[in-house]
Structure 1
Amino acid sequence: MCERGLTLIELLITLSILSVLLLVATPRIGEQIEASRTRAAADQLLQAIQLTRNKAVTTNRRATLRKIGNWEAGWEIFYDRDFDGERDGDEPAIAIGNPIKGVEIKANGPLANYVSFVGTGESRTAGTLSGGALGMGSFTICSANGQGGYKLTLANTGRVRQQRISVEDC
């Protein structure tokens, strides 16, 4: 009679190999999760910028994307009727972005508090319906654990370019 199965020694060897593989793979899984979280945050902000520009162009009105507290805490998109870059009570929200955890978002220059688009699709600072200085600048979205990130660069035409950046650039 032939019996099939594993001996205790074979089972212990298999378990020890699996535990070594698990110890090697665990840090990489954490890095992948951080990289994925950072990429998702960059994509969410990029989509919010594109939606704001799209709303401005399709309605020929000034549309603004403004941070709520700080950029990680979320943002709101609205039609800026009085062209001041601030959402007032008579300016309903078009969309609201949820808070993002595990990343740091920094904006330079005119993008520190808001991004505003006029009906032609150009990014402009607050001012008049179609006026205001050009609203060019960039966002850096970095992992809170220092693993690099992404940079979103807003051109004067209103187009956004996304690129990967190193830990040193964060």
Structure 2
Amino acid sequence: MGWRGFTLVELLIVLAVGSILLAIAVPGYGFLVNNNRLATVTNDLVTVLHLARSEAIRRGVRVTVCKTGNPGAVTPTCDVAAEWHEGWLVFVDAGMRGMIDADDLLLRVQEAAHPDTKITSRNYDDYISYLPNGRSQGSSGLANGRIKICVAGTRRDIVINITGRPRLDSGVC
């Protein structure tokens, strides 16, 4: 009975085929990961916008979503110098508009998105508030606007109409 096994040539052929398959699969996997990141951030932001709007209507008060540079702080605060991808807060905004005061009730804290994520906005540079009637109002004072979320060249927009309802749109970064 002879020895059974692979020859060196067979082993090299298997390694070459495996390397070629891996080289084809890795870029596709990166695309999948980036699309998943984009969908996750978009869903997180749309979820908090729906939460803020429904809480404003339910409680009969202003509810605000603002960006924060340190969502993990013991008492997180809104930060106009921060970027939206660093995290955001949802709170009942009873005091100074767009800023968390001692009287405000914090409803939700969102941790930072992946560093490759870029979130920009028009009319909502610092915060977006929802009034008791469900209408939105941005830090610019306007009701409607657009939040652009980009990950690796792929973009999804959250378009908020004058009644405060968000919808999704797509574009190019």
Work out whether the TM-score is over 0.5: yes
Instruction: Note the alpha carbon deviations across 1:32-79, whole angstroms, 9 max, x for none.
Output: 212211221111111111111111112121111111122111111111
> Which of 137, 142, 148 is the aligned partner of 2:145?
137
Report the secondary structure of 2:18's partner residue: helix
Residue deviations 1:65-114, cap 9 Å, x none?
111122111111111113622211221211111111220100112x1111
Q: Aligned to 1:162, which of 142, 159, 168?
A: 168
- Matched-pair contact (CA < 8 Å) for 2:95–2:104: no
Q: Which runs of 5+ in 2 are unaligned?
A: 69-81
Q: TM-score, normalised by structure 2?
A: 0.82
* Structure 1 counterpart of 2:41, one-letter code: A
The yes-or-no answer on 1:75 pairing with 2:88 is yes
Aligned length: 159
The range that moved more, 81-90 or 48-57, is 81-90
- Tell me the equivalent position of 1:129: none
Distance in 2, matches of 1:133 and 1:16, equals: 61
Query: Which residue type is aligned with residue 160 of structure 2?
Result: L
Partner of 2:26: 26
Matched, 1:117 2:123: no
Could you give the per-residue CA deviations for residues 133-164 of structure 1, whole angstroms, max 9, x where no partner exists?
54210000001x4x221110000111111122
TM-score (norm 1): 0.83
Q: Residue by residue, what CA displacement relative to the aligned partner does 1:113-148 show, whole Å, maximum 9, x if unpaired?
A: 11111122111257xxxxx954210000001x4x22
Separation (CA, whole Å) in 2 of partners of 1:59 and 1:5: 73
SS at the partner of 1:119? coil
Amino acid at match of 1:60: G
Distance in 2 (alpha carbons) for counterparts of 1:84 and 1:26:
47
1:105 paired to 2:111: no
- Contact 2:121–2:146, Cα closer than 8 Å, also in 1: yes
Q: Distance in 1 between matches of 2:98 and 2:131?
A: 12
